[in-house]
């Protein structure tokens, strides 16, 4: 799980992104497509065409950070909206990074009745 500092917002870029891009290319997408400032300290999440690779960019005030994660099995759950960016909570980002449907997480464990 990626620790998200207090007050930092998480934004998903709709659609898929060319995963050959690094921080400069992705920050340009943030500016032009999402209409956000990539140096504002927020997390911006991008998904590749196949759905098994994510890249997250973040400027921490001192420098640019680029995180990536590839799932060995399955795909990341992604919104189908083609409008603007989608805002997530840090908890929803944690679900997303684990490959869990962040829109409707469900318990997988039900305790048995004692006795």
DSSP string, 31-53: IIII---TTSS-EEEEE-TTSSE
Stronger pLDDT, 105 or 107, i.e. the higher one: 105
Token digits for 52? 């098994």
Cα 60 to Cα 5: distance, rounded to the nearest angstrom: 10
For 66, other C-beta atoms within 10 Å of its C-beta total 13
Which pLDDT band holds residue 28 (cuts at 50, 70, 90)? very high
Cβ(62)–Cβ(54) below 8 Å: no
Residue located via tokens 């909570």: 89
Cα 37 to Cα 58: distance, rounded to the nearest angstrom: 11
pTM: 0.83
Q: What percent of the chain has pLDDT over 70?
A: 88
Average pLDDT of span 56-82: 87
For 52, other C-beta atoms within 10 Å of its C-beta total 16
Q: What percent of the chain has pLDDT over 90?
A: 44
Has residue 115 got a pLDDT over 60? no
């Amino acid at each position: 799980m990626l620790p998200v500092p207090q007050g930092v917002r998480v934004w998903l870029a709709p659609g898929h992104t060319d995963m050959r891009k690094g921080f400069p290319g992705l920050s340009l997408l943030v500016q032009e497509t999402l209409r956000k400032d990539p140096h504002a300290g927020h997390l911006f999440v991008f998904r590749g065409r196949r759905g098994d690779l994510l890249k997250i960019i973040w400027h921490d005030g001192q420098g640019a950070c680029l995180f990536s994660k590839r799932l060995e099995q399955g795909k990341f759950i992604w919104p189908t909206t083609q409008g603007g960016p989608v805002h997530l909570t840090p908890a929803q980002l944690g679900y997303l990074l684990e490959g869990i449907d962040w829109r409707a997480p469900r318990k997988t464990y039900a305790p048995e009745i004692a006795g």
